[in-house]
Amino acid sequence: MFDGFTLDRVEVGDVSLRVRHGGSGPPVVLVHGHPRTHTTWHAVAPRLAEHHFVVTPDLRGYGRSTLPPDAPDHAQSAKRAMAQDIVALMAHLGHDRFAVAGHDRGALVAFRTAMDHPAAVSHLVVMDGLPVVEHLERTDARFAQAWWHWWFLGQTDKPAERVINADPGAWYRTPAPDEMGEENHADVWAAYRDPAVVHGMAEDYRAGLGIDRAHDEADRAAGRKVQCPAMLLESADDDLDIHGDPAEIWKPWLVHPLRHRIIHSGHHQAEQAPGEVADALLDFLGS
């Protein structure tokens, strides 16, 4: 897995990130989502590394990256903090400008990186994600029922960690090792069984329901938009369109026309359709 890549640990501010990097060429950061680690990219990253310098970190609080102590408003898990980690990581690796692609919660991090650091981001790719405020403003009974884990993980009155840590095997579901890759499977299950990671993942959602929404609202009110070219990769067999056409929802946030491609997979695109994902990324990044 990740042949030719370097497994590294990089200190960025108040967190220590586990990261793999390899290849050569224009830099691109691949950001995983919930409940995965950077190893979700194991079949995509080597393809990209034929043409790009590829960086794949564990987000703060996920995998084997650390998380600072809980802060007011869950600010330690805000996408703004995670975006700053990405910028600091890339500066450490010698790059002040790079492309960023994020899946699921990682799409929120990629979006926030482009919004907060426009000079640093050359291309933005969001995979099965929308600005969090766009989801929350459209919340109705149908959305709450389908995406109920947002509210379970995000609430604090009866913390989700107590339920999940009692029996991680009953809570999480993954494909078999031969479907998602044996090392990827082992890596994510090690994370699921670590109470610190379970807490980090829950804090990600708690930040999403509060401080992340506030950051989106402030950007919208100020008229700030993503300045670089952007592409949406939408899974054919998922429900990102639960609010309607996700491409139309993205358009007001972007300066450039949005590229929109359907990936013939379920939610975990990089694992289920790595060839399609790699082709889409290479085409977009080379444009």
Query: Residue 28 phi/psi, 5° resolution?
Result: -140, 135
pLDDT of residue 60: 98
CA pair distance 103, 233, nearest whole angstrom: 9
| Cβ-contact 105, 59 below 8 angstroms | yes
Domains in the chain: boundaries:
6-285
Per-residue confidence of the chain (287 residues) as pLDDT tens digits?
899 999 999 999 999 999 999 999 999 999 999 999 999 999 999 999 999 999 999 999 999 999 999 999 999 999 999 999 999 999 999 999 999 999 999 999 999 999 999 999 999 999 999 999 999 999 999 999 999 999 999 999 999 999 999 999 999 999 999 999 999 999 999 999 999 999 999 999 999 999 999 999 999 999 999 999 999 999 999 999 999 999 999 999 999 999 999 999 999 999 999 999 999 999 999 98
How is domain 6-285 classified at the architecture level of CATH?
3-Layer(aba) Sandwich (3.40)
pLDDT at 287: 81
Q: Work out the burial of residue 31: count CB atoms within 10 Å of its CB; fewer than 13 is exposed, 13-18 middle, 19 or more buried.
A: buried
Q: Which pLDDT belongs to residue 234?
A: 98
The answer to whether residues 47 and 25 touch, using CB atoms and an 8 Å cutoff, is no
Query: Residue 127 has what DSSP assignment?
Result: E
Give catalytic residues, as residue numbers.
104, 267
- How many angstroms separate the CA atoms of 125 and 114, rounded? 10
Cβ atoms of residues 54 and 22 within 8 Å: yes
Q: Which two tokens stand for residue 77?
A: 């898990």
Confidence (pTM):
0.98
pLDDT, position 126 = 98
- Interatomic CA distance for residues 125 and 109, integer angstroms: 11
Per-residue model confidence (pLDDT) at position 108: 98
